[in-house]
């Protein structure tokens, strides 16, 4: 096998390369390392090596080579990001023009795409129905379809087996659909719906149909009931493009107004002594990459990188978080607290705007493309927080909830609302239940519907304390189980003056489920609403509200809030810690200074304020862009507040010069 040096390819035009058309050879890099590759790979490399043409001290390294395997968009991005990082390491921060480097990367992408379509035009192939037909009739795939049964397990197993064949079978290598799939250009879930089975689908209210759709898109969905079930996803897509999308987008806009309080990035180190302890899990680690942490091996603060995983997994590490930066009072964050993402921020860019757009844009994208994001349906078990576990516990099935038997020892009563509210009909239909109705197979959701229940905790010599727990989620509301309904009827009931049934739990068997949730899919609309409520603290519920309805203003410890917000976001989307920390900082005020709504000074204890308070008490630029500007102008209290933090939008309201 022949060997070539990488500079030969870099410095001579393609026509003068000594290697043959599609030759396999050894490629030697500037650092002396050698790799086996082929001509076509180096042709792609050469188009991406634009930064090397300008930054002549930048060596060509193995990481700048596209490598074997399908040429996906992600791989091209990975190579350019290695190049970008190497320029930074070799030239040193501040010694080169970052934005010019970004421009070169952008041009390199363009060069690759624009020139490749011309140069490789003879390789362009098409996909036709015969390719799909051959794939569908491929005997091993056919055999899997014959084994398919309408159960979750069978569908999952057959899906896995089909995918295994599609991804690895050498006989299918030349099929264009398979090669697109292997290159990551086709979504496997969607291909499985074509070749294998459509699977579970949801109704427009996110209720999961009892039976899956057993047809597939290749053979067609011929059963009328299945066709009707399949059509609801399209209906849902139309619904979601309307009001839910508007609401999500409006929430994004609101979030931007407050986040913009955090303004500029300061390149350097504020030298804050404050580090936060964060227990590392896999998901957290992924979104913490680049944060400055105290390396236990070296005792120094350095950026957290992928190769630190072995060092930090299952431990608690000390990190710098954006909201603890010493520059926060001025609306600034230093690049050390911000982490390596600082390298991606253009000069003069508003950090808050970037953070809110990047956390929210994916959420609205998902609402918009509900058809794709909810194509594969699953029931998510309800999440019960540590605080809630003092009262409720998960039942045997993922849709059941039982009570903690501690309740009996402490003489705690269960309170159920007896009157209907706008949200749910609660226990208003319970008086019509007869003993003879209560047989197996009864539809429990007909009799009761609860979003929230209350526990009455006796305290010495005083009024009992009441704790509210949210047990429903979005459109998914809990009903009483058959067992509990029997208990309820047997014990007899009266409605107390507070509009609740007070149920003593003395005779209850705590091993049985009390609540059941319908089979419902957690949908993106509900998710978007939950994120908004969390960040803006829009609900005015009692402070003693425990449950998934969490809000920033309930937290005393910002780190705990950050971890919970991260957990909430990562149920559906990626969320880098730094962006979340910036969004959170924008809602922080000083705890011991109740009338000051400016960003907190360095090192003082903080609390989270409600969104409306921040907007009403800050500079009025964003309030005018939001709503209620006229009211603010007419309110005397607005004229009493003089010390207000400047905002990005002030020049719009009050142009200077």
**Binding residues vs Zn ion (CB under 5 A):** 270, 325, 334, 337
Of 568, 541, 570, residue with least CA distance to 554: 541
Q: Residue length, the chain?
A: 657
Residue placing its CB nearer to Zn ion in the complex, 27 or 325: 325
**Nearest distance in Å: CB 264, Zn ion:** 12
Residue placing its CB nearer to Zn ion in the complex, 325 or 351: 325
| Whole-number Å distance between alpha carbons of 178 and 183 | 9
Residue placing its CB nearer to Zn ion in the complex, 337 or 585: 337
Residue placing its CB nearer to Zn ion in the complex, 83 or 325: 325
**Nearest distance in Å: CB 275, Zn ion:** 11
Residue placing its CB nearer to Zn ion in the complex, 182 or 320: 320
User: What residues contact residue 624 under an 8 Å CB cut-off, 6+ apart?
Assistant: 632, 649, 652, 653
Of 54, 115, 114, 42, residue with least CA distance to 79: 42
Residue placing its CB nearer to Zn ion in the complex, 301 or 538: 301
Residue placing its CB nearer to Zn ion in the complex, 261 or 413: 261
Element (H, E) at 623: helix 621-626
Beta-strand runs (E) in 193-328:
264-266, 276-279, 292-294, 301-303, 316-319
**Nearest distance in Å: CB 276, Zn ion:** 13
- CA 334 to centroid of chain Cα atoms: 26
CA 153 to each of CA 187, 293, 382: distance values in angstroms, whole numbers, following the listed order: 21, 43, 21
Residue placing its CB nearer to Zn ion in the complex, 320 or 402: 320
| Whole-number Å distance between alpha carbons of 290 and 301 | 12
Of 237, 474, 209, residue with least CA distance to 372: 237
SS3 assignment, position 229: helix
**Tokens coding 396:** 């045997």
Tell me whether strands 3-5 and 24-28 are parallel, antiparallel or unpaired: parallel
Residue placing its CB nearer to Zn ion in the complex, 328 or 476: 328
**Nearest distance in Å: CB 334, Zn ion:** 3
Residue 465, beta-bridge partner list: 457
| Whole-number Å distance between alpha carbons of 392 and 401 | 7
Residue placing its CB nearer to Zn ion in the complex, 5 or 274: 274
User: What residues contact residue 593 under an 8 Å CB cut-off, 6+ apart?
Assistant: 604
Residue placing its CB nearer to Zn ion in the complex, 65 or 326: 326
| Whole-number Å distance between alpha carbons of 578 and 585 | 10
**Nearest distance in Å: CB 78, Zn ion:** 29
206: left (phi over 0), alpha (psi -120 to 50) or beta: left
Where do the H-state alpha helices sit in 492-522? none
**Nearest distance in Å: CB 73, Zn ion:** 34
**Nearest distance in Å: CB 390, Zn ion:** 38
CB 505 within 8 A of CB 407: yes
**Nearest distance in Å: CB 340, Zn ion:** 14
| Whole-number Å distance between alpha carbons of 146 and 51 | 54
**Nearest distance in Å: CB 270, Zn ion:** 3
CA 434 to each of CA 200, 394, 447, 500: distance values in angstroms, whole numbers, following the listed order: 35, 28, 11, 20
Residue placing its CB nearer to Zn ion in the complex, 275 or 495: 275
Residue placing its CB nearer to Zn ion in the complex, 328 or 550: 328
CA 526 to each of CA 155, 253, 500: distance values in angstroms, whole numbers, following the listed order: 27, 18, 28
SS3 assignment, position 332: strand
Residue placing its CB nearer to Zn ion in the complex, 431 or 605: 605
| Residue with tokens 């030969």, as numbered in its chain | 8
* Backbone φ, ψ for residue 279 (5° rounding): -70, 130
**Tokens coding 27:** 């490629």
DSSP state of 218: T
**Nearest distance in Å: CB 327, Zn ion:** 6
* Backbone φ, ψ for residue 292 (5° rounding): -80, 125
**Nearest distance in Å: CB 290, Zn ion:** 14
Burial of 60 (0-12, 13-18, 19+ CB in 10 A): buried
Residue placing its CB nearer to Zn ion in the complex, 27 or 337: 337
**Nearest distance in Å: CB 46, Zn ion:** 41
* Backbone φ, ψ for residue 558 (5° rounding): -60, -35
**Nearest distance in Å: CB 265, Zn ion:** 10
User: What residues contact residue 407 under an 8 Å CB cut-off, 6+ apart?
Assistant: 391, 414, 455, 505, 510
**Nearest distance in Å: CB 599, Zn ion:** 13
Residue placing its CB nearer to Zn ion in the complex, 51 or 266: 266
- CA 430 to centroid of chain Cα atoms: 39
**Nearest distance in Å: CB 324, Zn ion:** 7
Residue 35, beta-bridge partner list: 27
**Nearest distance in Å: CB 325, Zn ion:** 3
């Amino acid at each position: 096998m022949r060997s070539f040096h990488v500079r030969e390819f870099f410095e001579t035009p393609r026509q003068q390369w000594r290697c043959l058309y599609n030759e396999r050879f050894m490629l030697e890099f500037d650092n002396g390392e050698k790799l086996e590759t082929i001509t076509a790979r180096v042709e792609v490399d050469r188009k991406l090596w634009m930064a090397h043409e300008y930054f002549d001290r930048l060596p060509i390294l193995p990481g700048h080579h596209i490598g074997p395997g399908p040429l996906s968009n992600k791989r091209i991005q990975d190579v350019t990001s290695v190049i970008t990082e190497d320029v930074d390491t070799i030239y040193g921060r501040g010694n080169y023009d970052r934005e010019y480097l970004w421009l070169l990367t952008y041009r390199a992408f363009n060069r690759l795409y624009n020139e490749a379509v011309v140069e490789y035009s003879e390789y362009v192939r098409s996909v036709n129905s015969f390719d799909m037909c051959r794939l569908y009739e491929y005997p091993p795939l056919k055999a899997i379809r014959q084994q398919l049964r309408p159960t979750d397990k069978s569908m999952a197993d057959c899906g896995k087996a089909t995918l295994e064949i599609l991804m690895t079978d050498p006989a299918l290598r030349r099929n264009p659909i398979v090669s697109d799939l292997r290159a990551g250009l086709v979504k496997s879930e969607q291909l499985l719906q074509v070749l294998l089975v459509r699977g579970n689908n949801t109704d427009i209210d996110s209720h999961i149909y009892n039976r899956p759709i057993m047809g597939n898109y290749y053979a067609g969905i011929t059963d009328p009931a299945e066709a009707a079930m399949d059509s609801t996803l399209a209906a849902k897509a139309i619904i979601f493009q309307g009001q839910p999308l508007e609401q999500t987008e409006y929430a994004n806009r609101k979030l931007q107004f407050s986040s913009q309080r955090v303004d500029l990035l300061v390149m350097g180190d504020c030298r804050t002594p404050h580090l936060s302890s964060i227990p590392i899990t896999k998901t957290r680690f992924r979104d913490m990459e680049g944060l400055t942490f105290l390396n236990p091996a070296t005792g120094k603060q350095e950026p957290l990188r992928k190769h630190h995983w072995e060092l930090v997994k299952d431990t608690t590490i000390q990190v710098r978080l954006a909201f603890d930066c010493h520059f926060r009072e001025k609306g600034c964050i230093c690049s050390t607290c911000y982490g390596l993402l600082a390298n991606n921020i253009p000069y003069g860019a508003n950090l808050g705007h970037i953070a809110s757009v990047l956390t929210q844009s994916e959420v609205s994208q998902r609402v918009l493309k509900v058809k794709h994001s909810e194509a594969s349906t699953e029931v998510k078990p309800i999440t019960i927080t540590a605080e809630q576990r003092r009262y409720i516990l998960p039942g045997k099935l993922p849709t059941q909830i039982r009570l903690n038997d501690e309740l009996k020892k402490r003489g705690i009563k269960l309170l159920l609302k007896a009157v209907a509210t706008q949200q749910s009909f609660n226990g208003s239909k319970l008086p019509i239940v007869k003993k003879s109705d209560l047989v197996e197979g009864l539809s429990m959701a007909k009799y009761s519907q609860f979003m929230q229940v209350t526990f009455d905790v006796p305290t010495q010599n005083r009024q009992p304390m009441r704790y509210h727990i949210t047990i429903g989620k979005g459109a998914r509301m809990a009903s009483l189980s058959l067992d509990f309904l029997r208990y309820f009827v047997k014990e007899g009931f009266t409605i107390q003056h507070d509009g609740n049934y007070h149920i003593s739990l003395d005779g209850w068997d705590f091993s049985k489920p009390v609540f059941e949730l319908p089979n419902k899919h957690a949908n993106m609309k509900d998710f978007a609403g939950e994120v908004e409520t969390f960040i803006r603290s829009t609900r005015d519920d009692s402070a003693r509200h425990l449950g998934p309805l969490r809000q920033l203003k309930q937290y005393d410890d910002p780190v705990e809030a950050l971890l919970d917000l991260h957990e909430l976001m990562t149920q559906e989307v990626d969320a880098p810690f730094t962006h979340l920390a910036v969004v959170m900082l924008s809602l922080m005020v000083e705890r011991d200074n109740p009338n000051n709504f400016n960003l907190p000074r360095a090192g003082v204890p903080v609390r989270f304020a409600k969104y409306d308070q921040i907007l009403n008490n800050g500079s009025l630029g964003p309030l005018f862009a939001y709503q209620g500007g006229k009211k603010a102008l007419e309110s005397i209290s607005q004229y009493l507040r003089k010390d207000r933090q400047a905002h990005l939008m002030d020049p719009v309201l009050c142009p200077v010069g």
